Amino acid sequence: MPIQPLKLRSASRSTTGSQETFAIPAQARKIVPAVSVAVVRRKTVLLVKRARPPSQGLYAYPGGKVEPGETLAQAAARELKEETGLEARNYRPLREIHIDGSGENHAVDYLLTVFGALYVGGEPVASDDAETAAFYTLAEMAEMPLAGDVFSVAEDLLGPAQDARR
């Protein structure tokens, strides 16, 4: 049976001043594979403060889109190197998260695979995608503006801390 083209029955429209935006129905959005990597160094985890959408201004794990021909683990290693200059080892997938792009009026959703990895060496340097890149404890993270599941992933990796509640 041939695949039928998707017919858009409706899209919501809103106007703000002279800007007009259209919300694209979920069934019309493409799902893009993406990765992030939580690098552990002793009892800390690497975070970047995002300089661009999505999650601009929030702290998150370094990551991005998977490029054609890459495995998820290769993409995680590449994104870590590009965004922080660091390398890690023992990459392992921790969880998958569906990110609905409609909240920021994107035509795509992301299927994010979050990896855990072990720190190898060096100091993180933020790239143009990030304002800062540094290692943080759970107690520090509890006071920071974090994206999505960042805190719960860190707790899974480091274990719950008595003085860190979110």
Q: Whole-structure pTM over 0.85, yes or no?
A: no
Q: Could you tell me if 76 and 106 are in contact, meaning their C-beta atoms sit under 8 angstroms apart?
A: no
- Domain assignments of the chain as residue spans, ordered by start: 30-158
Tell me the per-residue pLDDT of 97-143, one tens digit each, with 9 for 90 and over: 988 877 666 678 889 999 999 999 889 999 988 999 999 999 999 99
Q: What angle do CA 65, 83, 91 make, to 5 degrees?
A: 70
pLDDT at 5 over 90: no
pLDDT for 106 equals 66
Which of 9-13, 20-24, 131-135, 147-151 has the weakest average pLDDT?
Answer: 9-13
pLDDT at 54: 77
What mean pLDDT, rounded, does the chain reach?
84
Res 65 pLDDT > 90? yes
Burial of 82 (C-beta count, 10 Å sphere; 0-12/13-18/19+): middle
Question: Which residues sit opposite 115 in a β-bridge?
Answer: 37, 93
Q: Are 37 and 117 in contact (CB under 8 A)?
A: yes
Would you place residue 25 in the very low, low, confident or very high pLDDT band (cuts 50, 70, 90)? low
Residue 166 is predicted with a pLDDT of: 53
Class assignment of domain 30-158? alpha beta
Cβ–Cβ < 8 Å for 60, 148:
yes
Please tell me which residue, 13 or 132, carries the higher pLDDT value. Answer: 132
